[in-house]
Structure 1
């Protein structure tokens, strides 16, 4: 989406903010959002993986005015700035009152040699303003921009796109920065642009989300992490039905694109005595294995979550959510699985 001379990456729609000032950023169009379960409707307004991208003209300073709409336990969020693949030192805290942040390209980056940049997926002159992905925060509101700028050109961005659907682990809870999620790190290893559709606590394989992913034409490979959120909320039989419909819908509409289904990652249900006496977590994994094995679509692939996250090393203390170290392990292993699938296209 291009608005105000910028690319709003991973944004499906801008909506009027409840305060009446500014536009609320959400990751899917409103018609899709309202078709999701109630919790997922809220999650799609959290800007996980959302970036405002532009190229400043002639060394101009660009100003962006942003705020956080109350809605979570944290009232502020951290905006981080990257220049293409290069991490900047600029970090800005935004809160309920509109805050104007200023960004300008570091002088040293203007003198990079051609040999240093020719193989980069992102051109370093592309400013990537990464919005707060903190899961306990509110929604982000865009109030406007000043300064000469243009949207990135197609050849200044990665030519691959990786779409990820899943739980809070995909959306990115517990990491110290949005760029450290396993899906963001996987995208970087694949030289791909990330489309993050993670849905904290609410990845229920909704039909509306399946239809949305199936109809999008802006991705080359997808991973579907299905879904620890459904354990204890749905029966294994219902999970099987919903997962089968979800996978079939996405794969059938995109027969030339790899669709990697990931079984539930290793978590407390696997390693803490008395947490999963009925073995439901493993049963859900087995149901997904069968869905993939019985799929009529050649582009559907199975990846085992416990193999992507082989130990509890690097998890946070809830033994569910990966910390930074575990996210890196997952990304290394997932990228190694997805890269050959992309090469086969």
Structure 2
């Protein structure tokens, strides 16, 4: 969406909240948010993978505030990570940025190699524990929204749990979804939902109704292991996969089974083998749907080593996220190539 000559990427709606001067940024429209489970309604107000984008002409000042907790905002210039980070709290804070002069001297043929043009400022907003709900107040300075040719042409949508939203890595650019997008040369739409990825009908219909993605992964869902029976999971996952795949028969839809976690490796934690039963249920869903555009990826093939996990043995840290991005991007490249082949 656009506002004040800014592009709000991975932001589907803004909303006024009593007691706040700015507008809340949220990742799904309000009617979709209210159709989700209660926890997911809150998670979609965390701007994981959201960015405020613009091309400046001179210095630009963007004013933001936050609730729930302080938020770390990092500017990127195209694919280049800025040297500053800004901590935004409950009181509005104005972030001032100026185009780095050295980036303007990159040779034009080298700029053409980049998926993002370096003149595009990307204020990357925090998801998960790195921040709270972010409010936009205003912008000062001469700006325009980026053009399509200054952004990646491929768009990758990721739905899943806190692992997709990005629980543990130190920055948004280190989540596996962001790492995957970077390796694909794609723009990321992150719909991760910490602790609440229950394959709700509202999120299935929302993804199905969107036309702004080219490939989608559905990482479902360790969040459901303790809350739903295997049969309930099967039905919810089947509805999600079929709803999305049938709405976009020309686009790859890639369900991902549960990533390895403590239940798989700690003695006495999963005596009933529930994680593996949930993985098998998702395999059954893919077999039963039999859609040409649906391809299963095994979570243990993406997270192929325990060593990069954090100490909770659930959430991948920086190293594991990077490795996951490498593995998943390689798989998606194959899927996309098969889709494009005659």
SS at match of 2:217: strand
Deviation string 1:136-189 (CA, Å, 9 cap, x unpaired) is 642000011100000000000000000000000000001000100000000000
Distance 1:162 1:18 in 2: 34
* Structure 2 counterpart of 1:197: 191
Residue of structure 1 in register with 2:49 after alignment: 49
User: Per-residue displacement from partner, 1:291-312 (whole Å, max 9, x unpaired)?
Assistant: 0011131100100001111221
- Deviations along 1:274-320, one digit per CA (max 9) or x if unpaired, are 11001111000000001001113110010000111122110000000
Task: Decide whether aligned partners of structure 1 residues 9 and 262 sit closer, same or farther in structure 2, where only a CA change above 3 A counts.
Answer: same
Q: Which residue of 1 aligns with 2:29?
A: 29
In structure 1, the partner of 2:287 is 293
> Distance between the aligned counterparts of 1:137 and 1:129, measured in 2?
14
Counterpart in 1 of 2:77?
A: 83
Q: 1:132 matched to which residue of 2?
A: 126
Match status 1:263 vs 2:261 = no
TM-score, normalised via structure 2 length: 0.98
2:244 aligned partner:
250
User: Which of 205, 210, 221 is matched with 1:211 structurally?
Assistant: 205
Looking at structure 1, the residues matched to 255 and 126 of structure 2 have their Cα atoms a distance apart, in angstroms, of: 28
Q: CA deviation at 1:84?
A: 0.3
Q: Determine which structure has the larger helix proportion and give its number.
A: 2
The change in CA–CA distance for 1:136 and 1:191 in structure 2 (over 3 A counts) is: closer
Alpha-carbon distance in 2 for matches of 1:138, 1:194? 20
Gaps of 5+ in 2: none
Per the alignment, residue 156 of structure 1 pairs with: 150
CA distance in structure 2 between the partners assigned to 1:204 and 1:136 by the alignment: 23
In the TM superposition, what are the counterparts of 1:83-102 in structure 2 within 5 Å? 83-102=77-96
Q: Residues of 1 paired with 2:239 and 2:279: CA distance?
A: 16
Say if 1:248 and 1:4 are closer, same or farther in 2 by CA, change over 3 A: same
Pair 1:116 & 2:114 matched = no
- Offset of 1:76 from its aligned partner? 1.1
TM-score when normalising by structure 1: 0.97
C-alpha distance after superposition, 1:184-207 (max 9, x if no partner): 000000000000000000000000
Structure 1 segments of 4 or more deviating over 4 A? none
Whole-angstrom distance in 2 between the partners of 1:331 and 1:136 = 20
Deviation at 1:340, TM superposition (A): 1.9
| Residue 54 (structure 2) pairs with residue 40 (structure 1) | no
Q: Distance in 1 between matches of 2:128 and 2:225?
A: 24
- Equivalent in the alignment of 2:60: 62
Q: Deviations over 1:90-141 (max 9, x none)?
A: 2111000000010010111111111211111100000000112243642000
Q: Answer yes or no: is the 8 Å Cα contact 2:159–2:219 preserved in 1.
A: yes
Give the distance between the partners of 1:134 and 1:195, measured in 2 at CA.
15
